[in-house]
């Protein structure tokens, strides 16, 4: 859990307390400030969730890119080996033809 998510949860709880106190004592400004803190906290928590999601997606894409690179490298190496073998076979055929 990242700090944005923790701070967001804390701000939401503090905002609920502030709202409750404001409503209990009849202070509308304090109650409204509590609601504002809850909104700020929810936004901060959501931002933290977005950052976590971006990190997961980044790591997944990085792993996929490595796997694709490994696959491509293997295909190139195999194609090179096949081309070499094919060329050597043709050269051997030419040698046999000319030796009689």
Length of the chain, please? 100
Per-residue pLDDT for the chain (100 aa), expressed as one digit of tens each?
Answer: 789 999 999 999 999 999 999 999 999 999 999 999 999 999 999 999 999 999 899 999 999 999 999 999 999 999 999 999 999 999 999 999 999 6
- State how far the Cα of 14 lies from the Cα of 21, in Å rounded to an integer: 11
Whether the model clears a pTM of 0.85, i.e. scores above it, the answer is: no
DSSP-H helix ranges across the chain:
3-25, 28-99
């Amino acid at each position: 859990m990242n700090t944005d998510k923790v701070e967001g949860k804390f701000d939401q709880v503090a905002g609920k307390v502030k709202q409750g106190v404001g409503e209990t004592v009849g202070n509308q400004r304090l109650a409204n400030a509590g609601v504002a803190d809850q909104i700020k906290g929810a936004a901060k928590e959501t931002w933290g969730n977005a950052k976590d999601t971006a990190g997961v997606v980044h790591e997944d894409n990085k792993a996929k890119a490595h796997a694709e690179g490994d696959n491509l490298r293997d295909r190139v190496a195999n194609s090179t080996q096949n081309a070499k073998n094919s060329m050597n076979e043709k050269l051997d055929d030419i040698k046999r033809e000319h030796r009689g």
